[in-house]
Structures are given as C-alpha cells and as structure tokens.
A and B are shown apart, each in its own frame.
Chain A
Amino acid sequence: MGVDSFVSWLRDVAVSLHDNAAYLTELDSAIGDADHGANMDRGFQAVVGVLDETSFDSADELLKKAGMTLVSKVGGASGPLYGTFFLRFGTALAGADLTPETIGKGLHAGVEGVLARGKAELGDKTMYDAWAPALEAYDAAVAGGSDLGTALTAAAEAAAKGRDATIPLVARKGRASYLGERSAGHQDPGATSTTLILESAARTLP
C-alpha cells in the first residue's frame, strides 16, 4: 500500500459523509445544534478539492494537508478535533514504512491529539467513545498477527459498538452536555462520524 490508498480513503470518506450529512445533522439536532452533517460534508468536499489539485508523494504529507484543510474549513468543535486527528496521524507517519504497526501508531497519535484538544474522557458521549474501543480492537488484531484489512474491520466494528453505546449516556462534553439527563437516549453525532470514517478506512486502506 502507499499514498494512493490514503487518497482513496479520504475520497471515500467524503462520499460517505456527503451521503450521511442529513443523518448526522438529524442526530445533532436532537442534542446539539444541527450543523455536524453540513460541517463535515463541507470540510471533506474541501479535502477532495485539495486532492484534485495536488498530488502527494507521501501519506504523511497528504494527511497533514487534509488536517489543515479541515481546521481551516469546518469550524465548530469538529474542525479542530478531526483536523488535529489527521495532522497528528500524518506527523506520526513521517518517514515510516506503512505497516499495520505504524498505521496503528498513527491512529493512536491522532486520537491522543483529539483528547488533548477536547479533554474528553471515556463515557462523556463524544467521538472518543468510538475511537477508544476502535484502537483497542485494532491493537488486539495486529498483536494477533492480523493484516491491515482485518485489523481495520475489527476497529470499525468496535467503533460501531462504541457509537451505539453512546445512546444511553448523559453527555458531559460539548453542546449536548447543556441538556443534562435529556441528552440520554440519543446517539452521539461525533461517534457516528468517527465510525463512518473508520468503516471507510476498512473499505479502502488495505
């Protein structure tokens, strides 16, 4: 695999987020401010614009540029959070061979960036509730000798479970936290977009 796989991933994410924009916004209407779908769609359309104009020699440069583009185009909380994820992911891949191990390190670095920026903890009803089990499943699969495709599929499945598990939670971060107990019973939009991004990775990266 090489940089082309990462280009395919980002393009596929853009399609997936576009197709799910209304769904994400609907989730965000229930407990947030009804902009998550539109913002993610706008951000990844801008990433596609960059991909159309620029060719990249390495995955790390590509991911860093995608991160900067998201920071510049998305706004809200998801811009800095996803932007930081791709920036840190890219930075961690600099100079490394693309293997399940190095990609795992990159994913960890990205999620650590998300945590540093968002200061969320497990169970706060945020995207981290999808990222955390996904990383755990990915690491376990790679440690067991799985290839990248199997590991990413395991990660995406774990993210989906984490996403579903946000439904009964009371939000403690972001705008949903203003609702207190009333935020329970709704699926977190951020955990949902994270799952879409990982599902796309499982389809396109290997």
Chain B
Amino acid sequence: MGTMKKLINDPADVVSEALQGMAAAHPDRLRVDLENRIVYRKDAPRPGKVGLISGGGSGHEPMHGGFVGLGMLDAACAGEVFTSPVPDQMMAATKAVDAGAGVLHIVKNYTGDVMNFEMAAELAAADAGTEVLSVVTNDDVAVQDSLYTAGRRGVGVTVLLEKIVGAAAEEGRPLQEVADLAKRVNDNGRSMGMALTSCTVPAAGKPTFELAENEMEVGIGIHGEPGRQRLPLAPARDVAAMLVDPVVSDLPYQQGDSVIAFVNGMGGTPLLELYLMYNEVAQLLDRAGITVARSLVGNYITSLEMAGCSVTLLKVDDDLVRLWDAPVNTPGLRWGA
C-alpha cells in the first residue's frame, strides 16, 4: 500500500462519487439513482420502445453508464470496481425502463455478471410482468479453449453492440428482433487485447499484476487479470499483428468482407498511440483484402489506468452500417444528434 496515486477521496467511495459526478455533468441526458447505482436515460421509459439494460463492474468507463442515452442504453447498473452489480439493481432497472415492449439485458460473459443477471431474470420472472431476453457477449479470442474455461470474455464487441442494437430499439423494432440482432452482432465480432502496464483496483491499493519495463501482456481481459502470454515488448507493427491475426483467423474474416474496425484504449494509453495502432491495423486489414466500412478509435471499454489496447472487428452488412450511423447522444458516444 501507499504507492497508489489516484484522484480519489476514499477507496470505498469511488463508485458512488463518480456516479454523483456523472449526474452533475450530464443532467440534460441522464438521471442517476445513486442508492441503487443505476444510470438512466433521462426520458426513460420511452413508450413502445424495447428497454435496453446493461451493467457490469465499474472501472471500464465510459462503458456502460457513458453509453446511456438516445440511440443506446436505457439504463446501466454499476457494480463495485471490476465486480458485477447485484440482482436487485438489474431488477429495479428492468422495471423502471419497461414501457410494455419488454427489456433486453446485455451481459458480458464473466462468471459473476452472468450469475447475477440470471438471478435477476429468475426474480423478475417470479415477480411477473416484464418480458426479459438476454444476450451474452463473448468476443475475446484470447480465451482459446472454451470447454475448459468460463468461456470467451465479452469485451469490445459490447460497445459496438450497444450502439447498433440501441439504434434498432430506437426505430421501434420488437424485442425478439432486437435480441436476434444483438446475437448476430455478437456472432460476427471478435476481439483481442494487450497491456503495457497493470492497473490498481482502488480497494486493493496495489497493481493487480507486475510487468517489468521490457514486458507486455498479450491476451488480456478488461479486469486487470493477467493475459495468456507474457512477451518481450515489441514495436507497434508487431503488436498489431499479434492482435489482428488471431482475430481475423478466428471468425474468419475473409477477403471482400466489410468490417467496423475498433481500436480501443485500455485507459492509460494516449490517443497518439491509439491512432498509430489504428494505422497498423488498417494496413493489415488492407493487405488481407478486408474493407473498413467504419472505424472507432478511443477509450471506450477501459480497465482503469491500464496502458494498452484492444482490437475489435465486426463484420457488417448495409443494415448494420445504417444502424451504426444512426443518431446517438450519450456522454461516451455522440453523432447525428
């Protein structure tokens, strides 16, 4: 302890004080239930619209609270740092955003998140009333053998999915159709991440793992958990290949495919480096004959102050591109509105 250098007051208050800050910063777009730690779209519930809820541990900002608003989520439940929220929160959010068209839960595939959302769905069913469907994102190709693991983690695709499915819900598409679309987005997306540094959970007070000056961790998730491999630091062009190659070969993405290419920062890497990485990624895709229909570069699904990045590809058709381009107005993502 004693080495933690963060802009906080007390480690125990980090999440609630950050939520108070979101409420204060975005009163035009958001309503925050501080007691239940739920960020709501200000005008939720929207009559006739499928409610979209996500949630997860804190420390990944702007995901998920920063993606609440027009064209994306109706509510986001915040857990402690890197800890899934609890069923009570999902229950409360589900009831609050249901306007009669049902609710879709967007869940990242982590043991805790899945269990807590499952319990919430069971309780909601017992409580009656709201129709709830779920989609679990699991796009991380770094987790290789799903028979002997908790399965692939939900990472970058979650951001793209919340945007695309949010647009579909905004159009008034019915619950089943929205859920099917969510599954299609997840099925067509793949990601891989790497870290240059670890990160420090405020309550733990010290870095989750140690990396030497000349090392990097490849195949990381978004919770400061160590990755698949520890390797000597390499130039960006080599790192880009280490991320792009396993992603491309996994789906696989083929010559002639059209994709959304997403280079995501883990929280501690400057945009200068993220754009440099995007340049390398774009060249690799170009060489593979894969067309980039749209791109996204920035810190969208982070791991506290971890330095590093992830690459996500999502195979798209005209419908998905149109939904991607549709207006969105959230603290974390905004265009066309």
Contact = CB atoms under 8 A, between A and B. Distances in A.
| Majority secondary structure of chain A interface residues (helix, strand, loop or mixed) | helix
A81 interface: yes
A30 B204 CA distance: 12
Contact of A25 (B115, B145, B204): B204
Nearest to A182: B226
Contact of A76 (B83, B87, B228): B83
A43 to B, nearest CB: 10
Contact of B116 (A33, A79, A180): A79
Contact of B79 (A75, A179, A182): A75
A77 B112 contact: yes
B62 interface: no
A172 B149 CA distance: 5
Contacts of B83: 33, 35, 39, 74-76
A102 B196 CA distance: 53
Interface string A138-180: 0000000000000000000000000000000010111101111
A33 B115 contact: no
| Majority secondary structure of chain B interface residues (helix, strand, loop or mixed) | loop
Given A173-B150, A182-B226, A72 B79 contact: no
10 closest A-B pairs by beta carbon, nearest first, are A177-B149, A76-B112, A80-B115, A77-B112, A33-B223, A38-B203, A77-B111, A75-B83, A76-B83, A34-B204
24 contacts: A29-B204, A32-B225, A33-B223, A34-B82, A34-B201, A35-B82, A42-B80, A71-B86, A71-B87, A71-B119, A72-B86, A74-B86, A75-B57, A75-B116, A76-B112, A77-B111, A78-B112, A79-B86, A80-B87, A80-B116, A170-B148, A172-B149, A175-B225, A178-B221
Interface of A: 25, 29-35, 38-39, 42, 71-81, 117-118, 170, 172-175, 177-180, 182
Interface of B: 57, 79-88, 110-112, 115-116, 118-119, 142-145, 148-150, 153, 201, 203-204, 208-209, 221, 223-228
